[in-house]
Amino acid sequence: METITLDLTEFANGGYAVGRAGRGRTVFVPYAIPGEKVKAAVHTEKNKVAYAHLQQVLKASPERVEPRCPHFGVCGGCHFQHMGYEAQLRAKQAVVIDQMWRIGNVKDAPVRPTLSHPQPWAYSTVMSLSPVAGGGLGFWAPAEKRIIAIESCPISRPELVDLLHDVDLELPGLRKLTLRVGDDEALLAAVEVDGVEPPDLEADFPLSVVIVLPDDTAVNLIGDNFTIQAIKGRDFRISAGCYLPPSATGMELLVETVQRYARLTGVEQVLELYSGVGILTAFLAEKAAEVVAVEINPDAVMDTAVNVDADNVSLYEGTVEMVLPELDIKPDVLVLHPPKEGLSREAARLVAGLRPSRIVYVSSDIATLARDGRAFGRDGYNLVEIQPIDTRPQTFHMDVVGLWQRQS
């Protein structure tokens, strides 16, 4: 591998610091900070874009701190533990501005400062693990290209770390084990195995166990197939195969941002696409005349029926591409929370035909928000504002909410 010395100048999406090297190359280096001079070893290069391993920090940034986790830099779960928290927030805002320019074609996008998480450690309610060769469970280590065993995880709730140490699980064909904790401290283990035959399991302490099928529905093996999470004073049932917010506090920040952008006064019809278990649905329904929600996962639809008790909500099960052509609707406000891949071409075409006054787009991937937002611009919408939210401190991940207004 080629070893180079770099002056790092900016952050890129994915947690990388970026520098320029000889022959016009752009080099991406993880676990580094803009303003640092580093020695790095190039391991991948194509079309003048290179990725390198950090070997040595020659000149450290004043933002550099000692990571809390002994696995940091090997385990792929965290990316920013080497940075002070305020620097993490600034980095995420900078990445949103950069992606909106590079992908969204919006220079100097109106991006607000990143909303900070009040608990940047021990916040995560979910831990996803894979089998380690030779036994045990662990996390993927990108640098080593293997699963490594872990002893601690300072971003996870302590109950999950304790549960990890208590679980003795040997299942043939196990692909993934996801541990979850609810706000009532109930513990759940969701297993994904090759095939769909439920394994024989026993639990000698209070623990629900489910098997998650390929369609993301869950089958009970022991106890319940859901956890309960409280958001802004309301309890929400979340089944094992459905999206669980990494923290209730982060989700509350997201809900408040969506409410602020939706600007509901009680007379609007809201269309919510990819509505999940109904968390946003419930709070939108409090201020809207009507909410029409669309969700593909049948377990999430059943959770919504439990979570949302409101006469002004209509819920449809199916894909956006299948359901929207059947709806006779011209919503005032469109709320979107698509998967990481963003809108399909057909979904984007259908959305463009709705012509709502406002579009509120929630995303866990700024690149797809920027791409879909560029299409909104072509369809006659102005970008009003973007709010990054630090729902997953110590990582490069975040949630981003954008508001687009139809041109008069």
Give Cα separations from 161 to 81, 132, 152, 386 (angstroms): 18, 16, 7, 35
**167/275 same-domain check:** no
Is the model's pLDDT at 201 over the cut of 60? Answer: no
Could you say which DSSP state residue 195 is in? S
Q: Do residue 218 and residue 267 come from a single domain?
A: no
Claim to verify: residue 267 and residue 171 sit in the same structural domain = no
Q: Does 160 share its domain with 286?
A: no
pLDDT score for 130: 87
Cβ-count burial of 230 within 10 angstroms (0-12 exposed, 13-18 middle, 19+ buried)?
middle
Q: Is residue 92 part of a domain?
A: no
Banded pLDDT at 169 (limits 50, 70, 90): low
What value, to the nearest 5°, has the Cα angle with vertex 15 and ends 131 and 139?
Answer: 10
Determine the pLDDT at residue 207.
79
pLDDT, position 210: 82
26, with CB counted inside 10 A (0-12, 13-18, 19+), is middle
Residue 58 exposure: Cα atoms within 13 Å on the Cβ side: 9
Tell whether 278 and 216 lie within a shared domain.
no
Q: Is residue 87 part of a domain?
A: no
pLDDT digits (tens, 9 = 90+) for 323-347: 999 999 999 999 999 999 999 999 9
Same domain, 304 and 328: yes
Asked, for residue 83, whether it belongs to a domain, the answer is no
pLDDT at 399: 98
Mean pLDDT of 225-240: 94
The answer on 398 and 336 residing in a single domain is: yes
* pLDDT tens, position by position, 289-320: 999 999 999 999 999 999 999 999 999 999 99
More confidently predicted of 224 and 143: 224
CATH number, domain of 172, equals: 2.40.50.1070
The pLDDT of residue 199 is: 54
Q: Do 111 and 163 sit in the same domain of this protein? A: no
Residues 216 and 264 in one domain: no
The answer to whether residue 310 is domain-embedded is yes
Assigned domain for 236 exists: no
Provide the pLDDT confidence category of residue 171 given band limits of 50, 70 and 90.
low
Which spans in 152-247 are helix H?
Answer: 158-166
Contact 12, 28 (CB under 8 A): yes
- Using CA atoms, how far residue 196 sits from 180, 213, 220, 225, 297, in Å, is 21, 7, 13, 16, 18
For the chain, percent of residues with pLDDT exceeding 70? 96
What is the structure's pLDDT at 198? 54
pLDDT digits (tens, 9 = 90+) for 95-128: 999 999 999 999 999 999 999 999 999 999 999 9
At 379, the pLDDT band (50, 70, 90 cuts) reads: very high
Percentage of residues in the chain having pLDDT higher than 90: 76
Position 219 scores a pLDDT of: 78
Give yes or no: residues 46 and 114 share one domain: no
DSSP-derived secondary structure letter, 75: B
Please report the pLDDT score of residue 136 as a whole number: 77
Helix (H) or strand (E) holding 366: helix 366-378
Asked if 355 and 396 sit in the same domain, the reply is yes
- Structural domain includes residue 75: no
Dist. CA 183–CA 120, nearest whole Å: 18
CA distances from 91 to 33, 97, 114, 127 (A): 9, 10, 9, 25
Compute the distance between CA of residue 236 and CA of residue 238 in angstroms, rounded to an integer: 6
Domain-located, residue 77: no
71, part of any domain: no
- How far is residue 128 from each of residues 11, 168, 352, 402, measured CA to CA in Å? 27, 16, 36, 29
Same domain, 266 and 396: yes
The pLDDT mean for the chain works out to: 92
Q: Which residues pair with 370 in a beta bridge?
A: none
Instruction: Give CA–CA dist 321/83, Å, rounded.
Output: 42
What is the DSSP track for 88-118?
Answer: HHHHHHHHHHHHHHHTT--TT--BPPPBPPS
| Planar angle of CA 89, 93, 98, nearest 5 degrees | 145
Alpha helices in 121-187 (DSSP H): 158-166
Domain span including residue 18: 2-64
CATH code of the domain containing 56: 2.40.50.140
Domain of 382, CATH number, reads 3.40.50.150
Q: How confident is the model over 267-280, as pLDDT tens digits?
A: 999 999 999 999 99
Domain count along the chain = 3
CB atoms within 10 A of CB 16: 21
Is the pLDDT at 35 greater than 80? The verdict is yes
Final residue of a structural domain among 164, 194, 229: 229
pLDDT tens-digit readout, 234-265:
999 999 989 999 999 999 999 999 999 999 99
